[in-house]
Structure 1
Amino acid sequence: MCGRYATSRTPATLVDDFEADLGDLFEDTGADYNLAPTKLAPLVVQRTGEDTVRRELVTAKWGLVPSWAKDPSIGNRLINARSETVAEKPSFRKAFAKRRAIVPADGFYEWYQPEGEPGAKRKPPKQPFFMSAESGLGLAGLYEFWKDPEGAWLLTYTILTTSAEGEDGRIHDRAPLIVEPDVASRWLAAEPWPEALDHLVPATPGVLRTWPVSTEVNNVRNNGPELVEPIPIEGE
């Protein structure tokens, strides 16, 4: 799964990297090196007008709230969508068909549970790892609009995941899907594309670099570029 990530690109850099405009729903929330569910983050979407199609940057809350939800707290449980079932699940199928997005990220965190010594009563603490690409990532996402009883709109999103393979699968069995630039336009387009997921790239070895980072990332109140800096692991 993807439950914590980092995003630090400036609005100007995001505009260049994703060939997008700043939309009227965009708010610069600044760099966030410990982005957790329910926080606001930049999102790339495609908006269609009467005569125009525009790729835009918007700001959304992490944790998808379906349009039919009675309570927005459901979004706390919908931070990820399994790619294997996303087209059928009631919470995601409409968004998958019509509201696909790209989530800009520097990289994401996963936690590895060491085996520990045989016979030990307690397992060693989990070790966080940061998984990143040099030029940053565009994670596959979905977005939704939800209207509260007072008439205010809430924009939310989720990140698609798949099975992790190879060495990264040893750290965690799920990984986010990546949208490469050559399929970005079609991924974002609100048009039928049954084989869409076949054109996304699993965040696996050969795509990402992975290194251990400080356990300071465990606390969501900690936030800064030092969280993604590599650290030595004892005994290695």
Structure 2
Amino acid sequence: MCGRYALTISPEELEEILGIMGLDDFPARYNIAPTQPILVVVSDGPGEKGSNLPDRRALLVRWGFTPGWVKDPKSFPLLINARSETAIGKASFRAAMRHRRVLVPASGFYEWHRPTKNSQEKAQPYWIRPRHGGVVAFAGLMETWSSADGSEVDTGAILTTAANAAISPIHDRMPVVIRPEDFSRWLDCKTQEPRDVADLMQPVEDDFFEAIPVSDKVNKVANMGADLQDRATIERPPPLADKPKPDDGQLSLF
């Protein structure tokens, strides 16, 4: 799953990496939480004739996907994640998988290793970041929800997949990572149907991320400083997992 993440890269660096232009300045965010605005990247096509840059733009959406057919969002579950294995066939995500795939840039994400059911130990948070630094792009979906009075809210979710061998000792799910060479194919909803990009929704290589134990300050949304990512000392690391356990839920809030 992915229930908290961070984006601390500068707008200039993000423009270069994602092939977008005209980003407004924005602050580093060390503890992005559900229902908050998140930055996503969409594509409107191949770009102007004669230009080598794709026609991509960034916008803010509410983290918590609301399908267009929902009558009352207050009575609908908060869908912050979508399982990549089933999103193509799920009523909530089917249309977005076909027409509104996005990239969600991040500097990394947080995950919690939970002790066994009867254990008295607290959940241990980890800051999980690309081993070589920089920004990573998660696969995402967006939907614009319209109310009866005509107002609209752009909403989004992050796609997840089974955790790789490096992450599975902490949690059995992880965000889907889209590589830079696959950005255009993932964002191309005009010629690339969901089945054409299914191969992109796989766990990233085992050595892509590194997991750093951090303090439980990240548990509180009000804590937003860079110290959330400082390494913490833990007595016992999570045990190695033989294989990821199945996760039947579409959403998670820790």
Compute the TM-score of the two structures, normalised by the length of structure 2.
Answer: 0.82
Deviation at residue 200 of structure 1 after TM alignment: 3.9
Q: Secondary structure at the match of 1:43?
A: strand
Contact 1:141 1:158 in 2 (8 A): yes
Does residue 83 (structure 1) correspond to residue 91 (structure 2)? The answer is no
| Counterpart in the other structure of 1:132 | 129
* In structure 2, distance between residues paired with 1:74 and 1:102: 27
Give the equivalent residue in structure 1 for 2:95.
Answer: 94
Residue identity matched to 1:152:
S
Q: Does 1:47 align with 2:47?
A: no
Distance in 2 of aligned mates of 1:50 and 1:10: 24
How far does the alpha carbon of each residue in 1:147-206 deviate from its partner, in whole angstroms, 9 at most, with x for none? 122222211110000111313111101111000001100100113241312124524521
Q: Deviations over 1:89-123 (max 9, x none)?
A: 0100100011000001111111112359xxxx642
Match in the other structure for 1:195: 196
Structure 1: 5+ residue stretches without partners:
none
In the alignment, structure 1 residue 10 sits paired with structure 2 residue 7: no
Q: Closer, same or farther in 2 for the Cα pair 1:220/1:112, shift >3 Å? A: same
**Could you tell me whether the CA contact under 8 Å between 2:215 and 2:228 is conserved in 1?**
yes
1:155 aligned onto 2:154: yes
Q: Which residue pairs with 2:145 in the alignment?
A: 146
Query: Which residue is equivalent to 1:112?
Result: 113
Q: Is the 8 A contact 2:70 2:76 kept in 1?
A: no
Distance 1:50 1:73, change over 3 A: farther
Residues 37-73 of structure 1, C-alpha deviation per residue, up to 9 Å, x if partnerless? 1000111111259988721111111011111111233
Q: Distance in 1 between matches of 2:167 and 2:116?
A: 16
Alpha carbons of structure 1 residues 49 and 114: separation in structure 2 relative to 1, 3 Å: closer
Contact (CA 8 Å) 2:161, 2:202: kept in 1 or not? no
51-60 vs 39-48, which deviates more? 51-60
- On the 8 A contact 1:38/1:61 being kept in 2, the answer is yes
Q: Which residue of 2 aligns with 1:174?
A: 173
Q: Are 1:183 and 2:182 counterparts?
A: yes
SS at match of 2:169: helix
Given that 1:105 and 1:138 are in contact with CA atoms closer than 8 Å, whether structure 2 keeps it comes out as yes
With 107-116 and 176-185 compared, the bigger mean Cα shift is at: 107-116
- Matches of 1:224 and 1:97 in 2, distance apart? 37
5+ residue gaps, structure 2, are 238-254
Relative to structure 1, is the Cα distance of residues 51 and 145 closer, same or farther in structure 2, using a 3 angstrom cutoff? farther
CA distance in 2, matches of 1:82, 1:14: 26
Query: Residues 161 and 201 of structure 2 are in contact (CA less than 8 Å); yes or no, is this contact kept in structure 1?
Result: no
Q: Output the amino acid matched with 1:175.
A: M
Q: Of Structure 1 and Structure 2, which has the larger fraction of its residues in helix?
A: 1
Structure 1 residues 75, 36: closer, same or farther in 2, change over 3 A?
farther
2:100 is aligned with 1:103: no
TM-score by length of 1: 0.88
| Structure 1 residue 235: Cα displacement | 5.9
Which aligned runs of 4 or more in structure 1 are off by greater than 3 angstroms?
26-29, 48-53, 73-76
- SS in structure 1 opposite 2:69? coil
Cross-structure match for 2:225:
224
